[in-house]
Amino acid sequence: MRSLWCERAMVDTGGIADAVRIGIDAGGSVVSAVPGTEPQDGDEVLPGVAVPAAANAHSHAFHRALRGRTHDRGGTFWTWRETMYRAAGALTPELYEELATAVYAEMVTVGFTSVAEFHYVHHRPDGSPYGQGTDGADPHAMELALARAAVQAGIRLTLLDTCYLAGGFGTPLDDVQRRFSDGTAVHWLERLASLRTTIGALYAPQQVSVGAAIHSVRAVPAGELAVIARHLPDELPLHVHLSEQHAENEECLRATGRTPTGLLQHHGLVTDRLSAVHATHVTDEDIGLLAHAGAVVVLCPTTEADLADGLGPAGDFRSAGVDLALGTDQHAVVDPWLEMRALEHGERLRTGSRGHFDPHALHGIASLGGSRAQNRAGPGFGAGQVADYMVVDARSTRTAGSAADQLAYSATGQDVTGVVVGGVVMARDGVHATLGDPGELVAAAIARLDAETYPREHH
Protein backbone atom coordinates (compact mmCIF):
# COMPACT_ATOMS: atom_id res chain seq x y z
CA MET A 1 0.00 0.00 0.00
CA ARG A 2 1.25 3.50 -0.87
CA SER A 3 0.39 6.73 0.94
CA LEU A 4 -0.11 10.36 0.03
CA TRP A 5 -0.04 13.25 2.45
CA CYS A 6 -2.00 16.36 1.48
CA GLU A 7 -1.51 19.70 3.18
CA ARG A 8 -5.25 20.25 2.73
CA ALA A 9 -7.96 18.25 0.96
CA MET A 10 -11.62 18.52 0.00
CA VAL A 11 -12.62 15.31 1.74
CA ASP A 12 -16.41 15.63 1.92
CA THR A 13 -19.26 17.83 0.68
CA GLY A 14 -17.09 20.80 -0.09
CA GLY A 15 -15.36 20.84 3.29
CA ILE A 16 -11.61 21.32 3.49
CA ALA A 17 -9.60 19.26 5.99
CA ASP A 18 -5.99 19.84 7.05
CA ALA A 19 -3.11 17.36 7.01
CA VAL A 20 -4.85 14.44 5.29
CA ARG A 21 -2.99 11.16 4.95
CA ILE A 22 -4.43 8.86 2.26
CA GLY A 23 -3.78 5.13 2.06
CA ILE A 24 -4.06 3.66 -1.43
CA ASP A 25 -4.18 0.01 -2.48
CA ALA A 26 -2.36 -1.67 -5.34
CA GLY A 27 -5.29 -1.03 -7.68
CA GLY A 28 -5.17 2.72 -7.12
CA SER A 29 -8.24 2.98 -4.87
CA VAL A 30 -8.54 4.72 -1.53
CA VAL A 31 -8.29 2.56 1.59
CA SER A 32 -8.37 5.38 4.13
CA ALA A 33 -8.18 9.17 4.41
CA VAL A 34 -7.30 10.46 7.86
CA PRO A 35 -7.21 14.23 8.57
CA GLY A 36 -4.98 15.79 11.21
CA THR A 37 -2.03 13.45 10.75
CA GLU A 38 1.66 14.03 10.12
CA PRO A 39 3.39 12.66 7.02
CA GLN A 40 5.44 9.50 7.48
CA ASP A 41 8.60 8.32 5.82
CA GLY A 42 7.88 7.27 2.26
CA ASP A 43 4.71 9.37 1.89
CA GLU A 44 4.32 11.42 -1.27
CA VAL A 45 3.86 14.95 0.05
CA LEU A 46 1.48 17.26 -1.79
CA PRO A 47 1.47 20.91 -0.66
CA GLY A 48 -1.65 22.89 -1.54
CA VAL A 49 -5.33 21.96 -1.65
CA ALA A 50 -6.20 18.56 -3.13
CA VAL A 51 -9.56 18.01 -4.83
CA PRO A 52 -10.94 15.13 -6.92
CA ALA A 53 -9.39 15.14 -10.37
CA ALA A 54 -11.40 16.17 -13.41
CA ALA A 55 -12.80 13.73 -15.97
CA ASN A 56 -12.83 15.10 -19.51
CA ALA A 57 -16.09 13.85 -21.00
CA HIS A 58 -15.56 15.04 -24.58
CA SER A 59 -12.37 15.30 -26.62
CA HIS A 60 -11.28 15.39 -30.25
CA ALA A 61 -7.52 15.22 -29.75
CA PHE A 62 -6.51 16.36 -33.23
CA HIS A 63 -8.55 19.57 -32.95
CA ARG A 64 -5.78 20.84 -30.65
CA ALA A 65 -3.86 21.67 -33.82
CA LEU A 66 -6.38 24.44 -34.58
CA ARG A 67 -5.99 26.41 -31.34
CA GLY A 68 -5.30 30.08 -31.97
CA ARG A 69 -5.32 29.59 -35.76
CA THR A 70 -8.93 30.06 -36.86
CA HIS A 71 -9.74 33.55 -35.61
CA ASP A 72 -8.53 35.86 -38.38
CA ARG A 73 -11.56 35.73 -40.68
CA GLY A 74 -14.56 35.34 -38.41
CA GLY A 75 -17.00 32.86 -39.89
CA THR A 76 -19.17 30.21 -38.29
CA PHE A 77 -18.97 26.69 -36.94
CA TRP A 78 -19.38 25.47 -40.51
CA THR A 79 -16.43 27.47 -41.88
CA TRP A 80 -14.30 26.40 -38.90
CA ARG A 81 -15.21 22.81 -39.77
CA GLU A 82 -13.55 23.10 -43.17
CA THR A 83 -10.21 23.90 -41.51
CA MET A 84 -10.72 21.00 -39.13
CA TYR A 85 -11.40 18.61 -42.00
CA ARG A 86 -8.13 19.61 -43.66
CA ALA A 87 -6.23 18.62 -40.53
CA ALA A 88 -8.19 15.36 -40.29
CA GLY A 89 -7.21 14.49 -43.83
CA ALA A 90 -3.49 14.69 -43.02
CA LEU A 91 -3.51 12.38 -39.99
CA THR A 92 -1.59 9.11 -40.03
CA PRO A 93 -1.41 6.67 -37.13
CA GLU A 94 2.12 7.87 -36.35
CA LEU A 95 1.19 11.55 -36.45
CA TYR A 96 -1.95 10.97 -34.43
CA GLU A 97 -0.10 9.07 -31.73
CA GLU A 98 2.43 11.89 -31.40
CA LEU A 99 -0.20 14.64 -31.30
CA ALA A 100 -2.55 12.78 -28.97
CA THR A 101 0.29 11.95 -26.57
CA ALA A 102 1.07 15.67 -26.34
CA VAL A 103 -2.57 16.66 -25.91
CA TYR A 104 -3.19 14.04 -23.23
CA ALA A 105 -0.03 15.13 -21.42
CA GLU A 106 -1.36 18.68 -21.49
CA MET A 107 -4.63 17.43 -19.97
CA VAL A 108 -2.84 15.58 -17.19
CA THR A 109 -0.71 18.55 -16.15
CA VAL A 110 -3.80 20.71 -15.49
CA GLY A 111 -5.84 18.10 -13.64
CA PHE A 112 -7.66 15.77 -16.05
CA THR A 113 -7.01 12.10 -15.27
CA SER A 114 -9.49 10.51 -17.65
CA VAL A 115 -10.78 11.40 -21.10
CA ALA A 116 -13.59 10.30 -23.40
CA GLU A 117 -12.11 10.49 -26.90
CA PHE A 118 -14.87 10.95 -29.50
CA HIS A 119 -13.02 9.26 -32.34
CA TYR A 120 -14.09 9.02 -35.96
CA VAL A 121 -10.86 9.15 -38.04
CA HIS A 122 -10.89 5.39 -38.57
CA HIS A 123 -9.52 4.65 -42.02
CA ARG A 124 -7.03 5.83 -44.62
CA PRO A 125 -7.73 9.16 -46.32
CA ASP A 126 -9.24 7.39 -49.35
CA GLY A 127 -11.65 5.50 -47.07
CA SER A 128 -9.93 2.12 -47.37
CA PRO A 129 -9.48 0.31 -44.05
CA TYR A 130 -6.10 -0.08 -42.43
CA GLY A 131 -4.93 -3.68 -42.49
CA GLN A 132 -5.61 -4.14 -46.18
CA GLY A 133 -2.66 -4.43 -48.50
CA THR A 134 0.96 -5.25 -47.75
CA ASP A 135 2.01 -2.40 -45.46
CA GLY A 136 1.49 -4.47 -42.32
CA ALA A 137 -0.81 -1.91 -40.69
CA ASP A 138 -3.13 -3.10 -37.96
CA PRO A 139 -6.85 -2.90 -38.88
CA HIS A 140 -7.29 -0.67 -35.82
CA ALA A 141 -4.17 1.42 -36.43
CA MET A 142 -5.73 4.79 -35.59
CA GLU A 143 -7.50 3.50 -32.49
CA LEU A 144 -4.39 1.79 -31.18
CA ALA A 145 -2.43 5.01 -31.75
CA LEU A 146 -4.81 6.78 -29.36
CA ALA A 147 -4.57 3.98 -26.82
CA ARG A 148 -0.77 4.09 -26.84
CA ALA A 149 -0.89 7.87 -26.51
CA ALA A 150 -3.09 7.66 -23.42
CA VAL A 151 -0.87 5.06 -21.79
CA GLN A 152 2.23 7.18 -22.42
CA ALA A 153 0.52 10.20 -20.90
CA GLY A 154 -0.85 8.25 -17.94
CA ILE A 155 -4.46 9.26 -18.57
CA ARG A 156 -7.41 6.87 -18.40
CA LEU A 157 -8.94 6.60 -21.88
CA THR A 158 -12.51 5.83 -22.86
CA LEU A 159 -12.23 5.38 -26.62
CA LEU A 160 -15.62 6.28 -28.08
CA ASP A 161 -15.59 4.60 -31.46
CA THR A 162 -17.90 6.70 -33.59
CA CYS A 163 -20.40 5.81 -36.29
CA TYR A 164 -20.27 8.35 -39.14
CA LEU A 165 -22.11 7.41 -42.35
CA ALA A 166 -23.44 10.51 -44.11
CA GLY A 167 -22.51 14.11 -44.89
CA GLY A 168 -25.90 15.37 -43.75
CA PHE A 169 -29.60 14.61 -44.11
CA GLY A 170 -29.87 13.03 -47.56
CA THR A 171 -26.30 14.09 -48.34
CA PRO A 172 -23.51 11.67 -49.22
CA LEU A 173 -20.07 11.81 -47.64
CA ASP A 174 -17.57 14.18 -49.20
CA ASP A 175 -13.99 13.17 -49.97
CA VAL A 176 -12.60 14.07 -46.52
CA GLN A 177 -15.41 12.31 -44.67
CA ARG A 178 -14.82 8.99 -46.43
CA ARG A 179 -12.15 8.01 -43.92
CA PHE A 180 -14.68 8.42 -41.11
CA SER A 181 -17.17 5.89 -42.46
CA ASP A 182 -17.69 2.13 -42.32
CA GLY A 183 -20.44 2.31 -44.94
CA THR A 184 -23.27 0.93 -42.83
CA ALA A 185 -24.14 0.59 -39.16
CA VAL A 186 -23.73 -3.18 -39.44
CA HIS A 187 -20.15 -2.80 -40.68
CA TRP A 188 -19.44 -0.26 -37.94
CA LEU A 189 -20.80 -2.64 -35.31
CA GLU A 190 -18.60 -5.43 -36.67
CA ARG A 191 -15.50 -3.25 -36.52
CA LEU A 192 -16.47 -2.04 -33.03
CA ALA A 193 -16.73 -5.65 -31.82
CA SER A 194 -13.29 -6.42 -33.26
CA LEU A 195 -11.85 -3.29 -31.65
CA ARG A 196 -13.23 -4.27 -28.24
CA THR A 197 -11.56 -7.66 -28.52
CA THR A 198 -8.24 -6.11 -29.53
CA ILE A 199 -8.24 -3.45 -26.81
CA GLY A 200 -9.43 -5.91 -24.18
CA ALA A 201 -6.49 -8.19 -24.93
CA LEU A 202 -3.95 -5.37 -24.60
CA TYR A 203 -5.16 -3.11 -21.79
CA ALA A 204 -6.85 -3.26 -18.42
CA PRO A 205 -10.26 -1.53 -18.56
CA GLN A 206 -9.29 1.02 -15.92
CA GLN A 207 -6.53 2.10 -18.32
CA VAL A 208 -8.23 1.89 -21.74
CA SER A 209 -11.86 0.98 -22.37
CA VAL A 210 -14.06 1.15 -25.44
CA GLY A 211 -17.39 2.94 -25.72
CA ALA A 212 -19.56 3.95 -28.66
CA ALA A 213 -20.71 7.16 -30.27
CA ILE A 214 -23.10 8.31 -32.95
CA HIS A 215 -21.51 11.36 -34.50
CA SER A 216 -24.83 13.18 -34.89
CA VAL A 217 -28.28 12.58 -36.31
CA ARG A 218 -27.18 14.35 -39.50
CA ALA A 219 -24.29 11.88 -39.94
CA VAL A 220 -26.21 8.64 -39.24
CA PRO A 221 -29.43 8.15 -41.24
CA ALA A 222 -32.58 7.22 -39.33
CA GLY A 223 -32.65 3.65 -40.61
CA GLU A 224 -29.12 3.09 -39.39
CA LEU A 225 -30.03 4.53 -35.98
CA ALA A 226 -32.60 1.75 -35.69
CA VAL A 227 -29.90 -0.86 -36.42
CA ILE A 228 -27.66 0.60 -33.72
CA ALA A 229 -30.50 0.64 -31.21
CA ARG A 230 -31.18 -3.04 -31.81
CA HIS A 231 -27.62 -4.34 -31.81
CA LEU A 232 -25.31 -2.11 -29.76
CA PRO A 233 -24.20 -4.04 -26.65
CA ASP A 234 -26.05 -2.82 -23.57
CA GLU A 235 -22.95 -2.37 -21.43
CA LEU A 236 -21.35 0.28 -23.63
CA PRO A 237 -21.68 4.00 -22.93
CA LEU A 238 -23.11 5.83 -25.94
CA HIS A 239 -22.33 9.47 -26.79
CA VAL A 240 -23.75 11.77 -29.47
CA HIS A 241 -23.31 15.37 -30.62
CA LEU A 242 -26.81 16.73 -30.04
CA SER A 243 -28.44 19.99 -31.16
CA GLU A 244 -25.17 21.89 -31.24
CA GLN A 245 -26.40 24.14 -34.05
CA HIS A 246 -29.76 25.66 -35.00
CA ALA A 247 -29.17 24.40 -38.54
CA GLU A 248 -29.01 20.79 -37.34
CA ASN A 249 -32.35 21.15 -35.56
CA GLU A 250 -34.00 22.77 -38.58
CA GLU A 251 -32.70 20.15 -41.00
CA CYS A 252 -33.73 17.31 -38.69
CA LEU A 253 -37.26 18.71 -38.38
CA ARG A 254 -37.56 19.05 -42.15
CA ALA A 255 -36.20 15.57 -42.83
CA THR A 256 -37.90 13.61 -40.03
CA GLY A 257 -40.51 15.79 -38.37
CA ARG A 258 -38.69 15.43 -35.07
CA THR A 259 -36.01 17.23 -33.11
CA PRO A 260 -32.66 15.40 -32.85
CA THR A 261 -33.56 14.30 -29.30
CA GLY A 262 -36.99 13.22 -30.45
CA LEU A 263 -35.49 11.22 -33.32
CA LEU A 264 -33.11 9.40 -30.96
CA GLN A 265 -35.99 8.78 -28.56
CA HIS A 266 -38.10 7.38 -31.40
CA HIS A 267 -35.41 4.79 -32.05
CA GLY A 268 -34.93 3.86 -28.39
CA LEU A 269 -31.53 5.51 -28.01
CA VAL A 270 -32.36 7.98 -25.23
CA THR A 271 -31.53 5.88 -22.17
CA ASP A 272 -29.46 6.13 -19.01
CA ARG A 273 -26.31 5.12 -20.91
CA LEU A 274 -26.59 8.10 -23.27
CA SER A 275 -24.38 11.17 -22.99
CA ALA A 276 -25.68 14.07 -25.07
CA VAL A 277 -22.84 16.41 -25.98
CA HIS A 278 -23.55 20.16 -26.24
CA ALA A 279 -27.38 20.01 -26.26
CA THR A 280 -27.17 23.76 -26.80
CA HIS A 281 -30.45 24.26 -28.65
CA VAL A 282 -32.79 21.71 -27.11
CA THR A 283 -36.48 22.30 -26.42
CA ASP A 284 -38.23 21.95 -23.08
CA GLU A 285 -39.64 18.65 -24.35
CA ASP A 286 -36.12 17.47 -25.23
CA ILE A 287 -34.94 18.31 -21.71
CA GLY A 288 -37.79 16.30 -20.28
CA LEU A 289 -36.92 13.27 -22.44
CA LEU A 290 -33.27 13.37 -21.40
CA ALA A 291 -34.17 13.82 -17.73
CA HIS A 292 -36.74 11.03 -17.71
CA ALA A 293 -34.22 8.64 -19.28
CA GLY A 294 -31.45 9.49 -16.80
CA ALA A 295 -29.09 10.61 -19.56
CA VAL A 296 -25.97 12.73 -19.00
CA VAL A 297 -25.49 16.07 -20.76
CA VAL A 298 -21.88 16.96 -21.56
CA LEU A 299 -21.33 20.69 -21.81
CA CYS A 300 -18.17 22.17 -23.37
CA PRO A 301 -18.45 25.83 -22.39
CA THR A 302 -15.17 27.16 -23.79
CA THR A 303 -15.67 25.40 -27.13
CA GLU A 304 -19.29 26.49 -27.35
CA ALA A 305 -18.11 30.07 -26.79
CA ASP A 306 -15.21 29.78 -29.24
CA LEU A 307 -17.44 28.41 -32.03
CA ALA A 308 -20.33 30.79 -31.26
CA ASP A 309 -22.63 27.83 -30.67
CA GLY A 310 -24.65 29.65 -28.02
CA LEU A 311 -25.37 29.24 -24.32
CA GLY A 312 -26.91 25.89 -23.45
CA PRO A 313 -29.60 25.72 -20.73
CA ALA A 314 -27.36 24.28 -18.00
CA GLY A 315 -29.61 25.47 -15.19
CA ASP A 316 -32.69 24.01 -16.84
CA PHE A 317 -30.96 20.67 -17.16
CA ARG A 318 -29.98 20.74 -13.52
CA SER A 319 -33.49 21.72 -12.42
CA ALA A 320 -34.88 18.80 -14.42
CA GLY A 321 -32.52 16.40 -12.64
CA VAL A 322 -30.10 15.78 -15.51
CA ASP A 323 -26.54 14.88 -14.53
CA LEU A 324 -24.01 17.24 -16.12
CA ALA A 325 -20.41 16.68 -17.21
CA LEU A 326 -17.73 18.85 -18.82
CA GLY A 327 -15.52 18.38 -21.87
CA THR A 328 -12.84 20.33 -23.70
CA ASP A 329 -14.01 19.24 -27.17
CA GLN A 330 -11.81 21.13 -29.67
CA HIS A 331 -9.28 22.19 -26.99
CA ALA A 332 -9.42 25.93 -27.56
CA VAL A 333 -8.83 25.70 -23.81
CA VAL A 334 -7.54 22.68 -21.87
CA ASP A 335 -8.26 23.61 -18.28
CA PRO A 336 -10.93 22.05 -16.03
CA TRP A 337 -10.93 25.12 -13.78
CA LEU A 338 -11.85 27.40 -16.66
CA GLU A 339 -14.53 24.98 -17.88
CA MET A 340 -16.08 24.89 -14.41
CA ARG A 341 -16.09 28.64 -14.17
CA ALA A 342 -17.43 29.10 -17.71
CA LEU A 343 -20.38 26.85 -16.86
CA GLU A 344 -21.51 29.17 -14.07
CA HIS A 345 -20.63 32.30 -16.02
CA GLY A 346 -22.72 31.11 -18.95
CA GLU A 347 -25.72 30.73 -16.69
CA ARG A 348 -25.15 34.20 -15.27
CA LEU A 349 -25.09 35.64 -18.78
CA ARG A 350 -28.14 33.64 -19.81
CA THR A 351 -30.27 34.48 -16.76
CA GLY A 352 -28.90 37.72 -15.34
CA SER A 353 -28.39 36.24 -11.88
CA ARG A 354 -25.51 34.66 -9.92
CA GLY A 355 -25.01 31.53 -7.89
CA HIS A 356 -26.38 28.70 -10.02
CA PHE A 357 -23.54 26.23 -9.37
CA ASP A 358 -21.66 26.51 -6.09
CA PRO A 359 -18.03 25.31 -5.94
CA HIS A 360 -18.95 21.88 -4.60
CA ALA A 361 -21.43 21.37 -7.43
CA LEU A 362 -18.84 22.41 -9.99
CA HIS A 363 -16.29 19.93 -8.66
CA GLY A 364 -18.92 17.20 -8.75
CA ILE A 365 -19.77 17.97 -12.37
CA ALA A 366 -16.10 18.06 -13.37
CA SER A 367 -15.17 14.81 -11.63
CA LEU A 368 -18.17 12.55 -10.94
CA GLY A 369 -20.26 13.73 -13.89
CA GLY A 370 -17.44 13.16 -16.34
CA SER A 371 -16.66 9.77 -14.81
CA ARG A 372 -20.28 8.68 -15.11
CA ALA A 373 -20.30 9.67 -18.79
CA GLN A 374 -17.37 7.29 -19.27
CA ASN A 375 -18.93 4.52 -17.17
CA ARG A 376 -15.97 4.80 -14.79
CA ALA A 377 -15.68 4.88 -11.01
CA GLY A 378 -15.31 8.46 -9.83
CA PRO A 379 -12.38 9.96 -7.93
CA GLY A 380 -12.58 11.03 -4.31
CA PHE A 381 -11.32 10.53 -0.77
CA GLY A 382 -13.79 7.92 0.44
CA ALA A 383 -12.84 4.28 0.85
CA GLY A 384 -13.10 2.49 -2.48
CA GLN A 385 -13.02 5.65 -4.57
CA VAL A 386 -10.37 6.15 -7.21
CA ALA A 387 -7.28 8.00 -5.93
CA ASP A 388 -7.15 10.58 -8.72
CA TYR A 389 -6.53 14.16 -7.54
CA MET A 390 -5.49 17.61 -8.68
CA VAL A 391 -3.71 19.81 -6.18
CA VAL A 392 -3.85 23.58 -6.46
CA ASP A 393 -1.71 26.34 -4.99
CA ALA A 394 -3.95 28.48 -2.78
CA ARG A 395 -1.33 31.24 -2.56
CA SER A 396 -0.67 32.03 -6.22
CA THR A 397 -1.22 35.42 -7.85
CA ARG A 398 -4.66 34.22 -8.95
CA THR A 399 -5.74 32.36 -5.82
CA ALA A 400 -4.21 34.38 -2.96
CA GLY A 401 -6.93 35.44 -0.57
CA SER A 402 -9.49 32.94 -1.88
CA ALA A 403 -11.42 30.79 0.54
CA ALA A 404 -10.06 27.26 0.17
CA ASP A 405 -13.51 25.89 -0.64
CA GLN A 406 -14.04 28.50 -3.39
CA LEU A 407 -10.94 27.91 -5.48
CA ALA A 408 -13.16 26.79 -8.36
CA TYR A 409 -13.83 30.51 -8.87
CA SER A 410 -10.23 31.72 -8.84
CA ALA A 411 -7.81 28.93 -9.80
CA THR A 412 -6.66 27.96 -13.29
CA GLY A 413 -4.60 25.11 -14.63
CA GLN A 414 -1.51 27.28 -14.08
CA ASP A 415 -2.08 26.89 -10.35
CA VAL A 416 -2.09 23.08 -10.37
CA THR A 417 0.99 21.94 -8.47
CA GLY A 418 0.36 18.19 -8.57
CA VAL A 419 -1.77 15.61 -10.38
CA VAL A 420 -2.26 12.09 -9.06
CA VAL A 421 -3.54 9.13 -11.09
CA GLY A 422 -4.32 5.99 -9.12
CA GLY A 423 -2.14 7.18 -6.26
CA VAL A 424 0.84 7.94 -8.53
CA VAL A 425 2.00 11.52 -9.07
CA MET A 426 1.92 12.10 -12.84
CA ALA A 427 2.66 15.83 -12.96
CA ARG A 428 4.07 18.62 -10.84
CA ASP A 429 3.99 22.34 -11.58
CA GLY A 430 2.93 21.93 -15.20
CA VAL A 431 5.57 19.33 -16.04
CA HIS A 432 4.63 15.75 -16.85
CA ALA A 433 6.46 13.16 -14.75
CA THR A 434 7.72 11.15 -17.74
CA LEU A 435 7.08 13.29 -20.82
CA GLY A 436 8.29 16.69 -19.59
CA ASP A 437 6.92 19.99 -20.87
CA PRO A 438 3.69 19.36 -22.82
CA GLY A 439 4.09 22.66 -24.66
CA GLU A 440 7.22 21.39 -26.37
CA LEU A 441 5.47 18.13 -27.27
CA VAL A 442 2.45 19.92 -28.74
CA ALA A 443 4.60 22.35 -30.75
CA ALA A 444 6.65 19.53 -32.27
CA ALA A 445 3.58 17.44 -33.12
CA ILE A 446 1.74 20.35 -34.74
CA ALA A 447 4.81 21.28 -36.79
CA ARG A 448 4.88 17.76 -38.22
CA LEU A 449 1.14 17.76 -38.84
CA ASP A 450 1.43 21.14 -40.58
CA ALA A 451 4.06 19.73 -42.90
CA GLU A 452 1.52 17.11 -44.02
CA THR A 453 -1.48 19.45 -44.04
CA TYR A 454 0.16 22.35 -45.87
CA PRO A 455 3.05 20.72 -47.77
CA ARG A 456 3.66 23.63 -50.18
CA GLU A 457 4.30 26.02 -47.31
CA HIS A 458 6.95 23.66 -45.93
CA HIS A 459 8.99 23.11 -49.06
Establish if 448 belongs to a structural domain: no
Decide: 145 and 96 in contact? Cβ < 8 Å. yes
The pLDDT of 261-281, averaged and rounded, is: 98
Establish if 453 belongs to a structural domain: no
Establish if 257 belongs to a structural domain: yes
Query: Could you tell me if 304 and 392 lie in one domain?
Result: no
Please, which pLDDT band fits residue 459 given cuts at 50, 70 and 90? very low
Query: Could you tell me if 391 and 322 lie in one domain?
Result: no
Three-state helix/strand/coil letters over the chain: CEEEEEEEEECCCCCEEEEEEEEECCCCEEEEEECCCCCCCCCEEEEEEEEECEEEEEECHHHHHHCCCCCCCCCCHHHHHHHHHHHHHHCCHHHHHHHHHHHHHHHHHHCEEEEEEEECCCCCCCCCCCCCCCCCCCCCHHHHHHHHHHHHHCCEEEEEEEECCCCECCECCCCHHHHHCCCCHHHHHHHHHHHHHHHHHHCCCCCEEEEEEECCCCCCCHHHHHHHHHHCCCCCCEEEEECCCHHHHHHHHHHHCCCHHHHHHHCCCCCCCEEEEECCCCCHHHHHHHHHHCCEEEECHHHHHHCCCCCCCHHHHHHHCCEEEECCECCCCCCHHHHHHHHHHHHHHHHCCCCCCCHHHHHHHHHHHHHHHCCCCCECCCCCCECCEEEECCCCCCCCCCCHHHHHHCCCHHHEEEEEECCEEEEECCEECCCECHHHHHHHHHHHHHHHHCHHHHC
Establish if 434 belongs to a structural domain: yes
Query: Could you tell me if 223 and 306 lie in one domain?
Result: yes
CATH number at residue 94: 3.20.20.140
Please, which pLDDT band fits residue 456 given cuts at 50, 70 and 90? low
Q: What is the pLDDT of residues 138-172, one digit of tens each?
A: 999 999 999 999 999 999 999 999 999 999 999 99
Query: Could you tell me if 62 and 114 lie in one domain?
Result: yes
Establish if 452 belongs to a structural domain: no
Q: What is the pLDDT of residues 190-216, one digit of tens each?
A: 999 999 999 999 999 999 999 999 999
- Active site residues per annotation: 278, 329
CATH number at residue 9: 2.30.40.10
Query: Could you tell me if 119 and 219 lie in one domain?
Result: yes
Is the torsion defined by CA of 95, 98, 102, 104 positive or negative?
positive
Q: CA-CA distance, 299 to 290, in Å (whole number)?
A: 14
Query: Could you tell me if 369 and 396 lie in one domain?
Result: no
pLDDT > 50? residue 381: yes
Establish if 421 belongs to a structural domain: yes
- Considering only CA atoms, which of 70, 6, 64 is closest in space to residue 35? 6
Establish if 288 belongs to a structural domain: yes
Q: What is the pLDDT of residues 398-454, one digit of tens each?
A: 999 999 999 999 999 999 999 999 999 999 999 999 999 999 999 999 999 999 877
Query: Could you tell me if 418 and 373 lie in one domain?
Result: no
Query: Could you tell me if 120 and 190 lie in one domain?
Result: yes
Share of the chain above pLDDT 70, in %: 98
Query: Could you tell me if 182 and 153 lie in one domain?
Result: yes
**The total number of structural domains that make up the chain:** 2
Establish if 59 belongs to a structural domain: yes
Query: Could you tell me if 419 and 316 lie in one domain?
Result: no
Query: Could you tell me if 273 and 404 lie in one domain?
Result: no
Query: Could you tell me if 301 and 329 lie in one domain?
Result: yes
How many CB atoms are closer than 10 A to CB 74? 8
Q: CA-CA distance, 383 to 399, in Å (whole number)?
A: 30
Decide: 66 and 50 in contact? Cβ < 8 Å. no
Give the global pTM.
0.96
Q: What is the pLDDT of residues 348-369, one digit of tens each?
A: 999 999 999 999 999 999 999 9
Domain that holds residue 116: 54-378+429-440
Give the up-direction half-sphere exposure of residue 172: CA atoms within 13 A in the CB hemisphere: 4
